[in-house]
């Protein structure tokens, strides 16, 4: 019988990412003990059988004091009198980790690494870092202090998890873990929660959608410029960007190209509502400059909504051009407009072939089981290597 692990997920928050929520459900179902560490109190939908350990609230001073006294006893008094929040939380972290004595710590974000430095320095526990999107692809290469910090930290890590091959390659420009372990594990969907595909039917109006906050890396301005081309070509369409409400650059471009009746910007919406909008859309657009493999693209393919994406980051691991969707060059509005018009000219049967191939790709390579098994393998491989090195 394989040993069940005690796994600490250090996310910094109890409201974990979609990837982590699916992962911890799967790990618990396999009999592992999972602990999520965070600095917040609000946890509207905890995962059953997962242990949530607060390190003391960032917002509630009284709760931090109470938590620190409960964990540290009278030893907290020194930092209580000075009210050194970070020292209180660091001591709370030490007490929590000592109590759990985890087999492995999985750090979700580069931002939690400073909290783990004492344990990295002394190799107290094997620590794995997830390499994700902006934090690996962009920030180290525009922030010299962050790059220098990560270059110092990476060789102290016991292993790395990468959400795509492209991110793994970018991470190597920063450094490697001392074990040289870096495993690519894609996001995984619980496909039982996705409807069986029904036959595709074209709509009278082309419904386009993008999902995600209006960060420059998403390059929604490219999509708006493509929409201006579609308007000139008399394409009947509507484009919604979920999560981009109020962005001045996008509002300016929409007004400049007189696209107010063609484009809507909404606030961030609940997950279920976003799914409904993606499901009812004709096309999902990914216009990013850099990405790992965005969940929204995988989910769109599972829902049967065809995807057009730029050749950013890991998207070519998800989509082969004209097989499971379409890949176009980055920063090229004309290429996007041309591909959308080519889509309009496709027959329903041709679109159906793409949809079915996309769903099969997700079922084969982006299912929840492969994600959980992949992470289990990573944890155990790192744990074995760590024992040899220490």
Digits of tens for pLDDT over the chain (390 positions)?
468 999 999 999 888 888 899 999 999 999 999 999 999 777 888 999 999 999 988 888 888 888 888 888 876 666 666 667 888 899 999 999 999 999 999 999 999 999 999 999 999 999 999 998 888 988 999 999 999 999 999 999 999 999 999 999 999 999 999 999 999 999 999 898 899 998 889 999 999 999 999 999 999 999 999 999 999 999 999 999 999 999 999 999 999 999 999 999 999 999 899 999 999 999 999 999 988 899 999 999 999 999 999 999 889 999 999 999 999 999 999 999 999 999 999 999 999 999 999 999 999 999 999 999 999 999 999 999 999 887
CA angle 89, 115, 389 (to 5 degrees): 135
Q: How far is CA 4 from the centre of its chain?
A: 26
Residue 1: predicted pLDDT: 43
CA angle 371, 377, 381 (to 5 degrees): 145
Residue 82: predicted pLDDT: 66
CATH T-level fold of 6-54+103-188+368-389:
Rossmann fold (3.40.50)
Contact status, residue 130 vs residue 10, Cβ threshold 8 Å:
no
In CATH, the architecture of 191-365 is 3-Layer(aba) Sandwich (3.40)
SS3 state at 98: helix
Scanning the structure block, which residue is given the tokens 């024992």? 387
Residue 55: predicted pLDDT: 93
* pTM (2 d.p.): 0.89
Residue 273 to residue 256: CA distance in whole angstroms? 30
SS3 state at 131: strand
Whether the domain at 6-54+103-188+368-389 and the domain at 191-365 fall into the same CATH topology = yes
Q: Would you list the domain boundaries of the chain? A: 6-54+103-188+368-389, 191-365
| CA nearest neighbour of 357 among 197, 225, 202, 246 | 197
Residue 77: predicted pLDDT: 66
């Amino acid at each position: 019988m394989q040993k069940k692990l005690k796994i600490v997920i250090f996310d910094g928050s109890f409201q974990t990412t979609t990837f982590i929520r699916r992962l911890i459900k799967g790990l618990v179902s396999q009999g592992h003990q999972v602990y999520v560490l965070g600095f917040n109190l609000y946890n509207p939908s905890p995962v059953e059988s997962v242990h949530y350990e607060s390190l003391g609230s960032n917002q509630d001073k009284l709760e931090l004091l109470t938590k620190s006294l409960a964990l540290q006893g009278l030893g907290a008094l020194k930092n209580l009198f000075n009210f050194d929040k970070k020292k209180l939380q660091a001591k709370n972290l030490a007490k929590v980790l000592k109590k759990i004595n985890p087999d492995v710590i999985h750090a979700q974000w580069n931002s939690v690494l400073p909290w783990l430095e004492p344990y990295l320095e002394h190799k107290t526990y094997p620590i794995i870092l997830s390499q994700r999107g902006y934090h690996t692809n962009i920030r180290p290469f525009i922030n010299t202090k962050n790059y220098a910090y990560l270059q110092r930290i990476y060789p102290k890590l016991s292993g790395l998890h990468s959400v795509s091959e492209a991110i793994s390659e970018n991470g190597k420009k920063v450094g490697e873990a001392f074990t040289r372990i870096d495993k690519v594990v894609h996001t995984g969907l619980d496909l039982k929660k996705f409807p069986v595909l029904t036959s595709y039917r074209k709509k009278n109006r082309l419904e386009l959608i993008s999902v995600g906050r209006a960060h420059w890396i998403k390059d929604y301005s490219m999509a708006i410029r493509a929409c201006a081309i579609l308007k000139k070509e008399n394409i009947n369409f509507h484009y919604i960007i979920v999560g981009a409400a109020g962005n001045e650059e996008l509002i300016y471009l929409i007004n400049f190209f007189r696209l107010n009746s063609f484009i809507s910007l909404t606030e961030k919406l609940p997950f279920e509502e976003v799914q409904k909008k993606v499901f009812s859309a004709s096309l999902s657009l990914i216009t990013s400059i850099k990405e790992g493999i965005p969940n929204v693209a995988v989910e769109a393919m599972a829902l049967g909504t065809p995807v057009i994406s730029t050749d950013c980051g890991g998207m070519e691991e998800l989509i082969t051009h004209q097989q499971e969707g379409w890949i176009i060059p980055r920063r090229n509005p004309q290429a996007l407009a041309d591909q959308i018009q080519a889509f309009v000219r496709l027959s329903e049967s041709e679109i159906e072939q793409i949809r079915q191939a996309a769903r099969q790709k997700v079922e084969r390579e982006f299912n929840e089981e492969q994600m959980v098994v992949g992470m289990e393998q990573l944890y155990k491989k790192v744990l074995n290597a760590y024992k040899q090195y220490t």
